[in-house]
Every structure is written in C-alpha cells, then in structure tokens.
Structure 1
Amino acid sequence: MSEIHILGPDFSTFLRSVRLYCEELGLSYTYGPDLNGKKIPLKSDELAHVNPFKKVPVLFYDEHPIFETTTICRFLDNISPTKKLLPKDPLAISLIDQWSGALSLYIDNILIRQYFLEFAFPRDPNNTVRISIVEKLIPDVISALNLLERQLNNNTFFCGNSYSMADAILTPMLDYVSQTPYAEQLFINAKNLLSYLTRMKERPSGKTVFSK
C-alpha cells in the first residue's frame, strides 16, 4: 500500500471524516498541517498549490494531491485492497452520494460554518460569542437536525444498514454541535440522532478519531 497523508488541522470536521473513512477501511495514514516537514497554513498560497480553493483536507497518495472529501472517500474505497464501503447497487450508491453531497454543502453550512464556528472562533471584536446571532440561527439548526432525524429514522446508519461516507461526513458535525451550550434544546426532537452519534463514536474508528 502506498503512503497516505491527510493534510489539514485535527479540528477540521472534514479531515476527521477522511480519518474515519481510513479507519473503517483499515488503511494506514498520517495526518496534520505539515507537508514534507513544512507547515501549510490555512487559506494560504502554499495551500492553493495543492487545492486551488485553499480548502482542507487534501489527501496525498504517493505525493499526488486529491481534494474534496467525497472524492477522497471514493478514492480510498477504490484503493483499499480488501474492505469496501461503497455498495454495488446503483440506487444504494445514489442515496449515499446525494446525502454525502447534501451534508457537505447544506448541512455543514448551517451546523458548522454558521452555528458552531460562532462558538469556536467568535467573530465579535471583543472575541466573545455573539449570542444574538446564535439565537437567530437556532431555528435553522433545529430544522436541519430534524431533517437529519427523519432521514436516519430507525436505521443503524445514516443511509441504511451499512457504514458509508455519509456517516463519516455527518459524525464530526454532530459531535461539535452536541458540545454547544444549546445542545439540549437543539436535539429535543432528534433523540435518535443523539443515539446514532453515540454509536458512531463508540465504534473503533470513532474511538480513535475522537479520543482526546
């Protein structure tokens, strides 16, 4: 197996998604913000050399860069010598693809970019959380979580009965949101989603990626 390195900071939800996918496939990898001994800052010109959109994670496979989390996961599935996470049924694949894309675009935007980052990296000049902004976002966050609850239903995994990249993408998002001060209010009608999060974090992959 060729060398795999995941470029990006450990706190990145999508880097954690790629790590989860590697763990589930049993692939060895390294990760972090350094590349060949040099730190690559976020949104930097150096990062643009491997991802023109200056986003992380970027997967390096024998020093070949690959960006976009869903593409990375599909690539990892293709190179895995034994275990495969992508199903063979076209409809099952489309379900995973559509939700992986929706999670990466729409759900990430509201849960992480707008809501969670207000706590993690306060944008107020005094470096304090803008509570008025958070309160305005709460209805949208609840709506997104309720949508996810309906999709999950009583399934073991987000897209059915098998672990998929949708689970790898969703779990880090839910983990962060569940740690915010308003979590009890947010998940009031999404109890299955909280149970799901617990199950995902208790998997060997989750214990590795989410260990403190």
Structure 2
Amino acid sequence: MKILVVDDDPNILELVSIQLNQAGYTVQKATNGFQAMELLEEELPDLAIVDVMMPGMDGYTLTRKIRAYADIPVLLLTAKGELEDKEKGFLAGSDDYVVKPFEPKELLYRINAILRRYDKAVDVFIQAGPLKINRQSYEVSVGKKVLLLPLKEFELLSVLASKVNTVFTRDMLIERIWGYDYEGDEQTLNVHIKRVRGKLENLTGEVTIATVRGVGYKLEVASI
C-alpha cells in the first residue's frame, strides 16, 4: 500500500517515512501542499498523512482539496490537542489525527485502523483471477463452487486478495485481522494461512498464497 506523507519539517518527514517503510508501506513524500497535489495527480495513494501547520497551504486546506479530488483517507499530524483544532480537522474531512510528539507505534495503529474501516466500507466485492469474494455475504467462489470460511480466515483471504502480488508483512496482517492490541503469537497467523491455503487448493489451482521468507505473505494469481 502507498502512503503520501506531507510535512514541511524534514526531520518529521524522514522519521515517519522510515517507520512506514519498515512496516511494509511504500511512501510518497511532499514538503508542502502544492507538491502533495502534484503527486496525487501522478499516482493516487491509499492514504495521506498531512501536517496541519504548513506555510502556503495549511493541512486543513490540503485535506479539503484531497477529499475533493479523491476518496482516500486522511490522517492529520498536529501539535495542537485542543477540541477546536480537532473539530476543524474533522470538518475538513480528516479521518483521524495524531498529536505531536507521538509514538511511531501509535501512528501505525491509527493507520491500520483507518485502512480496515475503508476496506470494509469500499471493497464489498474483490476479484483475484477466477476468485470472487463477497464481503456482504461472506462467500468465496470460483465459478459455481462456493466456499464459506470462518470469519478470521475470510478476513485474512480478503486482505491478501485486495492487493494481488503485494507483500503484507506478518505484523500488518496480525494488526489488521486481530487488532493492534492482540497479545497472541505468530503461530495463530501460521495456522490460519495453512488452513486457507488448503481450502484454496480444493477450490482452484490458479490462486495461491506465497510465503516471502522473513517478511510475510502475498496472494498470487497464475497467468493463463
């Protein structure tokens, strides 16, 4: 997934970019609102992180412009925590905010929470090759074959299928399926991956879950 980070402070810009890269995201960087809009026109990100206090075009104005241009979530970075500033951010169209100084993990938690909400709100139907996923009926199908999965297995397959050939880190999958406050271990993810793989094999040979050693997993669709 691609995230646009907009901040006129080079130290904050670099810190956030490093944290996002380590979490498996691709990062676009902009130092002001005008540069951010140029990047948006070139390639649409999955989410934008916008600093409020920027010269030329502040974060509130940029948020309104982003939301008018595309339906992508916006997370505001602000040094102010007053209720009035929060209200201005939400009225501008932001989905959430983080007050500076912030812990990098808090930023990642909020990003994952926003992306989960958007996944459920936007991607009702997902298709990966012959595989069709209906998030309303919770059905997975290939042609006339229909597969019903337990909820966590369904959510896991849905996340992987939402971005074919995109590697999801193990931490990203755990946070998006079980939540950032999950206290279990990675063995739970391993078990669920194994179960989904087995059921996919019985459904179609064209869609597989590949292991990217030391990183995570991705869904692959065989080319015909």
Bin of the TM-score, shorter chain as denominator length:
under 0.3
Write 1 or 2 for the structure with the bigger share of strand. 2
- Point out which structure has higher relative CO (alpha carbons under 8 A, 6+ apart): 1
TM-score (norm 2): 0.26
Greater Rg, structure 1 or structure 2?
2
TM-score (norm 1): 0.27
